[in-house]
Structure 1
């Protein structure tokens, strides 16, 4: 199917899965249910089509490109949204880009963070939807509900149990109404996944929301290339209405169709949903990491770097990362967002970043800090190089643990190997490069009056960061 392009929408922040998910490294980039991240699972689900078009924000651009490359998929395009404007504008950007690649492009719109257990069944459903999309239909997948669920929107079909015209979309109902929907048989969970021709979608958007169409089109026409990314101008795109594809198009079009699917779908929107899809022991406990349960039932326990034990507890969520611990009852996990709001209001950083922070050149882990000092473990990928930079408020001392480093300090280069070190004085212009074939691991000791990440003046950067 040379004209079919998966489109991966990766704009979510996953706040309900804190502390696993953070704003700058949300759940779609985590390995929650398998040895692959959720965005990798999404791409692999439709392997065999064209490589995907990804739509994400600027902070995630290198992460999504790297994770797709890890599974052998060089993205057909990575479109950078300068501001979040909901699903309709994001899909419109993807449709305009796909139309450049192939005038007959068919799009398979996917969220980056859904679980689908029956991959073969889903692929068959996608094939059926593509055939219908060739007739200019806008097809959405309706998940056959396994139980009444007040947390999902619903789609009512004209005809029960088969590909059908859409009768109506309904918002998240109360539980009693959800029970009635499930009993009726013609209501499905709204999956947020779609298949249609790029041209057909743009025509319908132009008809039903012309302001959005024209604004997105103008912004796309002013896009620039930044390395392998398509950068949309912020000033123009910010004028775009903030609206979902359901409101902008699907609730208004006469071409909407719903295809029922039963493929083990879950949007993993909370820790209780994550518990449902994970393997469990005989007592219903789902454990991730170094965990021991004694006389405990139906718990989700995750440990990133320490031993965690539970004794005599039931229906708890215990999530431990390097810098935070969450303990909640499974019935209250929706309130995790209140913790995130608290951290935002008090200007804490634990909702933004993990202690281990990923960068396009590798990663760093802030292992210790105190008054006027900070210690990091830095990993630089083979062939990668940090920006040429200087700091106004701190000096740095680098000790190589493994691998080889080329360190440039004020135009002088030094080659370092294991157990060798170098001092970078405050104000010195410097750059770190890994010339080797294996990861470079080093310890960085910072000292100074201010140690924030924003104390960086970049003179040159291969990744285009300012």
Structure 2
């Protein structure tokens, strides 16, 4: 039996403005209408012998992750379980948590298949065969990596050098890991035949991994063990929330640095599986077909004397005149225009936004919540207007605001509202007023989405002006 572990996190700063810290790369829709996380789950559910999938993600991303998983039809006998991190501590902590968790549930011989949630694999059959070979190697107490056969000299990936003098059945032993090289070195690696791109995907038995961590990174393993001992499952035992005080003591380091580069028991399965980490807009460009001028366009776009551009503009008309080699990505609150040769530098814009405190690095105008979404339509001095969508059967917390009042107008659906000591039901085109300082709650008792417009007014309209008294999602 194999236990897939999906690592879902990161900020995807090179894919800004579509990717944000609270809506990262795994959630981005590809041109075919599926997101990377959805594709990853479908991929592992297609493997033989999968009865449990473990996802390690940030606790703030859990409800969006769960919403995406609910769109996937899974076998009834397959469990979807979660480890929820209070904040990121890199891949060593995430994978160690998963290994300890699965060893506790299934024993040291449990075989883990660790996959990032934000990679694209286009040859599912080749992936399944590579996984089969990796599982056979894992039974020999080896830590197995998936080495991607280079198709070109790539300076944006790390490399794995296979030891040609120590080949083994189903794969090759690893001689060393190499950092991202310069172009000349990358060209020599691509020509050598025994260098592979480091995909960041792994396969190993829980016990073998834990033994190697205890040998090479005991400080990480000890801190993660202490975290798990202080943590508890939430509600139905399918969610393990990691204790923040202990998790903060876990060193922030990648699994490559912490273990893979130090261990002498690492193997690789060379494979050609149509792999891409979708690490930049240049990679996203390749997923869209080109027109006669080399332009790759999504959304409503017109062009004149424009060549080799990429445009993603789903919500409004974009026109190109006399330009070439541009990346244009339009979202409701941010517009990116970059030269294709500088696609890797977009992360510096995110860094500037983060340093200045601009919310565009963190969230979109539409923000996902456990109960649905809200979209900021307009805001100014002392007012903010939102469109709120509440899922059927969902409910906001019982809450209160100190500095703002709210006026709710139902657009569609049915709203069940607690306002102070009163309880009322509103239908389409009906409204109510919530005064500052009043306890209130909004729920959707119907079977269709509840849509309403919220008008806020007050001296302070920040999202942190909220006091929760009761919440079904554990946020009170």
Q: Deviations over 1:112-167 (max 9, x none)?
A: 10111111111111111112212222110001011111111000111399710111
- Which residue of structure 2 aligns with residue 122 of structure 1? 127
Q: Deviations over 1:242-270 (max 9, x none)?
A: 22222222222222111111111111111
User: Cα distance 1:6–1:293, how it changes in 2: closer, same or farther (>3 A)?
Assistant: farther
Inter-partner Cα distance in structure 1 for 2:86 and 2:462 = 24
Structure 1 residue runs of 5 or longer lacking an equivalent are none
Structure 2 residue runs of 5 or longer lacking an equivalent are none
Length-normalised TM-score, structure 2? 0.94
- Which residue of structure 2 aligns with residue 159 of structure 1? 164
Query: Is it true that 1:54 corresponds to 2:64 in the alignment?
Result: no
Q: Deviations over 1:148-193 (max 9, x none)?
A: 1111100011139971011111111111011111111110000000
The one of 190, 212, 218 equivalent to 1:182 is 190
SS at match of 1:147: coil
SS at match of 1:397: strand
Whether the 8 Å CA contact 1:56–1:78 is kept in 2: the answer is yes
- Which residue of structure 2 aligns with residue 102 of structure 1? 106
Q: Deviations over 1:363-406 (max 9, x none)?
A: 01111111211111110000000000111111111111111111
Q: Deviations over 1:36-91 (max 9, x none)?
A: 21111111111142342111112212111221122135763211222322211110
The one of 188, 193, 196 equivalent to 2:204 is 196
Shift of 1:324: 0.6
Shift of 1:325: 0.4
Inter-partner Cα distance in structure 2 for 1:222 and 1:406 = 38
The one of 408, 412, 417 equivalent to 2:427 is 417
Whether the 8 Å CA contact 1:65–1:75 is kept in 2: the answer is no
The one of 70, 91, 113 equivalent to 1:87 is 91
> Mean Cα displacement is larger for which, 39-48 or 378-387?
39-48
SS at match of 2:316: coil
Matches within 5 A, 1:136-151: 136-151=141-156
Inter-partner Cα distance in structure 1 for 2:183 and 2:175 = 21
Query: Is it true that 1:215 corresponds to 2:223 in the alignment?
Result: yes
Shift of 1:282: 3.1
- Which residue of structure 2 aligns with residue 17 of structure 1? 15
- Which residue of structure 2 aligns with residue 378 of structure 1? 388
Matches within 5 A, 1:9-408: 9-48=7-46, 49-73=50-74, 76-103=80-107, 104-159=109-164, 163-227=171-235, 228-408=238-418
Superposition misfits of 4+ residues, deviation over 3 angstroms: 72-76
Shift of 1:333: 1.7
> Mean Cα displacement is larger for which, 432-441 or 26-35?
26-35
Inter-partner Cα distance in structure 1 for 2:207 and 2:303 = 54
> Mean Cα displacement is larger for which, 3-12 or 145-154?
3-12
CA RMSD of aligned residues (A): 1.6
Whether the 8 Å CA contact 1:398–1:421 is kept in 2: the answer is yes
Inter-partner Cα distance in structure 2 for 1:53 and 1:288 = 34
Whether the 8 Å CA contact 1:378–1:444 is kept in 2: the answer is yes
SS at match of 2:436: coil
Length-normalised TM-score, structure 1? 0.96
